[in-house]
Amino acid sequence: MALFSSNNDKKSRERRENEDRLSRQFSANNDENVNGISTISMETTITGTIESNSVFKMEGVLNGDIKGNKLVHVGKTGQVKGNITAETVVVDGEVSGEIIADKVEIGGTGKVYATITSAVFVIQEGGIFEGRKKIKIALIKEEDTKAKKEKEEKKSKEPEIKVNENKENVQL
């Protein structure tokens, strides 16, 4: 007797894995969340700009911008009509505006109608993206410059071997 999994089982498993991953990211025990987690719950509407140094989760409605440092998560019930700037942006709700981040991920229930500027861009099955995508070149150039600098530093740490004209003694 063979066991077969349906496509729904696979989607359920993927959804659980994504929820587990987000739960770990939003855990108070996570070392990255030293500044805590800010959450705007559903049935809350805010007009204005939100600035946060902590992990930020939006489940309500925002007519304005979010300026975050680390992670901004627009939950399933979250709606943002404005711009989002952060290191990582995860959208499971709806965003209309502009997103600038190192990494942007649109979840299976996410809807993004925006211009996205990022180095990493992920759309999960079921996610909707309508707009423009720009590559965050500054980040890529920064990584290239960092790699060159590390290579030069490594090279400068290697001992230089000098041979005198008589080729008898070697100096380090």
Dump pLDDT digits (tens) for 17-50.
Answer: 655 555 555 544 445 545 688 889 999 999 999 9
Assess contact for 56 and 68: CB atoms under 8 A. Answer: yes
pLDDT higher at 162 or 118: 118
pLDDT score for 171: 53
pLDDT score for 37: 86
Lowest-confidence segment of 26-40, 45-59, 142-156 by average pLDDT = 26-40
Q: How far is CA 108 from CA 15, 67, 85, in A?
A: 8, 24, 21
Name, of 3-17, 18-32, 59-73, the range with top average pLDDT.
59-73
- Give this prediction's pTM: 0.64
Q: Across residues 139-145, what is the average pLDDT? A: 60
pLDDT score for 160: 56
pLDDT higher at 64 or 16: 64
Which DSSP state fits 137? H
Query: Cα(first)–Cα(last) distance of the chain, in Å?
Result: 72
Name, of 34-38, 132-136, 143-147, 150-154, the range with top average pLDDT.
132-136
For the segment 79-134, what is each residue's pLDDT rounded down to a tens digit? Answer: 999 999 999 999 999 999 999 999 999 999 999 999 999 999 999 999 999 999 99
Assess contact for 122 and 109: CB atoms under 8 A. Answer: no
Assess contact for 53 and 69: CB atoms under 8 A. Answer: yes
pLDDT score for 150: 74
